[in-house]
Chains A and B, each alone.
Chain A
Amino acid sequence: MEPHGTPTGAMREITDRALDTAASAGADYADVRVVRRVEESVTVRTGRVESIASDESQGVGVRVFAYGAWGFAATHRYDADAIDRAADEAVRLAKGAAPSLRHRVSLAERPRAYGTYATPVREDPFALPLEVKVADLLDADAALAVPGVVSTASTYAAQREWKTFAATDGSLTEQVFTHVGAGIEAHAVKGSEHQRRSYPEARGGRWQQAGYEFIRELDLKGNAARCGEEAVALLSAPPCPEGPATVVIDPSQLYLQIHESCGHATELDRVFGAEASYAGTSFLTADLLDSRFRYGSDLVTLVADATVPGGPGSFGWDDEGVAAQRTTLVENGILTGYLTSRDTAPRIGRESGGTVRAESWNRLPLVRMTNVNLVPVPGMSLQDIVADTDDGLYLTQNRSWSIDDRRWNFQFGTEIAYEIKGGRLGRILKNPVYSGITPEFWRSCDAVADERSYVMYGNPNCAKGLPPQCVQVGHGTSGARFRGVRMGAGR
């Protein structure tokens, strides 16, 4: 949705106070976010409602640039004293950090941010009676419970956030975000064997920036019996063979591959070491931009796009007041860009790509993924790719993941693999695991499906930073084929 509209200025008293106090205390630049957030969740476990919960949070976060350094302080209170204290504290923190600096921080210019943005919502999840949402989830959960399933879990959740951003350059934006997510999972156990099948995603389900219409479109109930049956069938399925293989990867797994091996790897703050002690660094060092590093095959084009309607990581402006945009990270296999902020972009001679966000009012904004997507390639549908594969594996639904601190050496497990023989899907195989080296893997991509199977997955728990913070990010993909992938965990 395009940003538009005129801010109401409802939080002006708070934002003006914070910015004035920060400026008086010595800030050369300051911005402030006033955030109110509400959440609701329903969890059903093995046929009974385990919890219905709601949460709310609100507060003010003041970020200042003073004495050449950043400082940030946050308070849950809206009174003048608390806001003054937070603004003063942010300046004091910046002043304390300044003597340690060994390089000069410069900020990329941006136009003054002004306007409003809101998630397009057809059916407001918070206006819908709880009983409806509970009943939908109970229906889906009941359908999971086919013979042999020992436990089930079904979840629904919604989040809404009202965010006002103001800065000392006169910027003022007001944004309202609504995210919804849901998922179901069936568990089967035999001896020391445990198998799970989920839809459309485990760990809290698939998320979108939307209303309850998205939950209805997922058709949880319609996919439940298949999940339950496959979880049970996996207990007696043969193990997935080890060794090099051709794999066709479904969007339900490929989205996480994109997230871990491209999304995080292209965060420019990581590249410069800002996350080295916790989340790690990146093998995509800044010099590789000039040398036109080959990240993947010619078919691989990856973009960071905060303008996608409904994308979990879409917005009008980021948390530095930079307007949403679409940035190409990898074009036809060549590294062309990074996820950037106002203070990292100048270090590679660019403007900010507008990819800075904070979890909430009490966290410092960081470089984050928006919607990092693998662009579909016209020509072959995902089914065509399977039909074009003589001998291979179809991998679907993430089960486990791990990648090293440089985003170089990865291993993923999926819930299930389907054998591909003569262009057709065959028997199911259990415990598939594949591993590889990021650029070798993406260079082995010889087919990307067209738009017909393109789907936007969301990760609501992308963690980064200290204190840790999670934001909603999106990954659109249609699925793709890779050659010579190493199957098996090497055990």
Chain B
Amino acid sequence: MNLERYAERVLDTARRHGATDAEVSVEARVSALTRFANSEIHQSVAEDTVRVGLRYVHGRRYGMAATGRLDDAAIESLVERASANARSTAESHDWPGLPEPGPIPEVTGAYAASTGETTAERRVETVRDVVAAADAAGVAAFGSFSTGAVTTAVISTRGVRAVQARSDAWLVTVHMSPGGGTGYAETCAVDVADVDGVALGREAAGKARADDHAVVLAPGEYPVVLEEYAVVDLLAKLGRCGFNALAAQEGQSFAAPGLRMASDLVTVWDDGTDPAGLPTAFDHEGVGKERVSLIDRGRCVGLVHDTRTAARAGIRSTGHALPAPNPVGPLPTNMFMAPGASSREELVGRLDRGLLVTRFYYTNPVNPKRGIVTGVTRDGVFLVEHGEIVSPVRDLRFSESYLDVLRGVSAVGKERKTLRGWYGGVSVLGDITVPAVLVDGFRFSG
């Protein structure tokens, strides 16, 4: 089905019902996922879904409705519901209106046909590679491999016309050793050909074996090397709590332009157009993605906006709206952290006595305004002395200010990984490209 043409029909119907403005977003997704545990495939699923969203505007009133159907009756029902929702509201005096059409950046490398057309056999083959690496190391593999393609169209009566196709492949694996060790590896890519099951399987297996027979370490403050899998959580949490303009406008964010919030070595931006990540040309309002500098050499320099927060700030949207209705506010969904000059070995080598941390798990903000987050380590923590790994360490809990962590960054890795991390299954939250970092002090509570 031609999604743009379908969206036009919805717009026409909305006009006939008296809409003064309307915006239609259509997202059609075909995806499949093969999941494995104890080195065998235990879940294998596929789905074909569609979501049509309508923002119906009547003067200064607006309402939203969505449907997962594409039949003719669905269009009438969709428009009637959105219209009724609009007419049930009072006039909104700070309603900025639907966005005007603006430039949509040219984005390359967002879609690979091979990913959308990945067969079940191809997924099984990759899982077999991961499991073979686990078998060779005498450990068990647990993980998932998903592939999918999505076509998105946003059109409006204001003249917005945005259509794009994207694809994504995501492989994650946790390997577990009989000695209690666990290891982790993850990758995400536009092209399924860039997913290397053998390499990821070996990485996780090696880590699991090294993590065997972990010892208990006293809580306290330690210098740490955070691998890319841990750094992704720093940026994801700070992006949600801080660089979100709605949180800032409601006084709940730590971020303020000009504020020193990290070491000079930390530079972070959001860029939906960079093919080094998983590119996307526009947001869920059909506004083109702008590159937004968030932290420049340690100083907060910007926030991401959707149409509503931008209007309040007197600027234009940066193209970071989520699907409506969205109580969370705009989010950075394609974050990058600048690489440094150190190899992983050099980062670890600078630890006189400290910890190498693979990743964080189940982290949640305790005090978002101070950037304080609690969580636990997972899948490999190692005590390092005089630059050498001397022992695996049992997982530790922390309640730490992620802002303090960024302030303590004293070296940055030169290699980067593009990851989804804990939010991996929720593709709307995007991807993050990060290096490993050395942090002078990180407090663990036990």
Contacts and interface: CB of A to CB of B under 8 A. Distances in A.
Contacts of A75: 47-48
A75 B32 CA distance: 12
Contacts of A73: 45-47
A71 interface: yes
B68 A59 contact: yes
A72 interface: yes
Contact of A401 (B42, B364, B446): B364
A62 to B, nearest CB: 10
Given A100-B36, A194-B368, A466 B144 contact: yes
A491 B47 contact: no
B399 A489 contact: yes
Contacts of B127: 100
A16 B141 CA distance: 38
B92 interface: yes
B84 A130 contact: yes
Interface string A62-80: 0000000111111111000
Contacts of A97: 34, 40-42, 44, 124
B37 A49 contact: no
Contacts of B400: 491
**Interface of chain B, helix or strand or loop or mixed?**
strand
A396 B143 CA distance: 37
B113 to A, nearest CB: 19
Given A59-B68, A278-B425, A404-B397, A72 B44 contact: yes
B126 to A, nearest CB: 12
B109 to A, nearest CB: 24
Contacts of B45: 71-74, 93, 363-364, 467
A383 interface: no
B63 A53 contact: yes
B422 to A, nearest CB: 9
Of B38, B41, B84, B92, the most chain A CB neighbours within 10 A belong to: B41
A96 B92 contact: no
A456 B40 CA distance: 39
User: What class of interface size applies to chain A in its complex with B?
Assistant: 35 or more
A489 B378 CA distance: 19
A56 B326 CA distance: 17
B99 to A, nearest CB: 16
A433 B366 contact: yes
Given A43-B327, A402-B374, A491-B443, A187 B250 contact: yes
Interface residues on B, range: 35 or more
A192 interface: yes
B407 to A, nearest CB: 15
A187 B38 CA distance: 46
A424 to B, nearest CB: 29
A36 B11 CA distance: 25
A404 B67 contact: no
A54 interface: yes
A53 B66 CA distance: 8
A150 B128 CA distance: 55
B366 A54 contact: no
A74 B67 contact: no
B46 A74 contact: yes
Nearest to A362: B47
Nearest to A134: B88
A127 interface: no
Given A70-B44, A402-B375, A433-B399, A49 B92 contact: yes
Interface in A389-411: 399-405, 409, 411
A151 B219 CA distance: 38
Nearest to A360: B68
- Which of B31, B33, B35, B363 has the largest number of chain A CB atoms within 10 A? B35
A52 B362 contact: no
Contact of A402 (B88, B364, B370): B364
Contacts of B149: none
Contact of A194 (B70, B252, B399): B252
A435 B445 contact: yes
Contact of A52 (B40, B63, B142, B399): B63
Interface in B26-77: 31-51, 63-70, 74, 77
A72 B424 CA distance: 21
A277 B49 contact: no
A82 B397 CA distance: 48
Nearest to A39: B66
B173 interface: yes
Nearest to B68: A57
B6 interface: no
A50 B327 contact: yes
Nearest to A413: B366
B142 A273 contact: yes
Nearest to B308: A50
A89 interface: yes
A276 B174 contact: yes
Contacts of A92: 120
A280 B399 CA distance: 20
Contact of B44 (A43, A55, A58, A69): A69
B112 interface: no
14 contacts: A52-B85, A53-B325, A57-B51, A73-B46, A74-B47, A93-B34, A97-B41, A273-B142, A276-B174, A278-B425, A364-B45, A400-B374, A413-B374, A489-B372
Q: Would you list the 8 A-B pairs with minimal beta carbon distance, nearest first?
A: A490-B445, A489-B399, A57-B68, A51-B325, A276-B142, A97-B41, A130-B88, A93-B44
Given A274-B42, A467-B425, 15 more contacts: A52-B86, A53-B85, A69-B44, A71-B44, A74-B48, A89-B46, A94-B44, A100-B36, A100-B127, A101-B40, A150-B250, A194-B367, A278-B172, A413-B366, A467-B146
Interface of A: 41, 43, 45-46, 48-59, 69-77, 82, 86, 89-90, 92-94, 96-97, 99-103, 129-131, 134, 150-151, 153, 155, 187, 189, 192-194, 272-278, 280, 362-364, 399-405, 409, 411, 413, 431, 433, 435, 466-468, 489-491
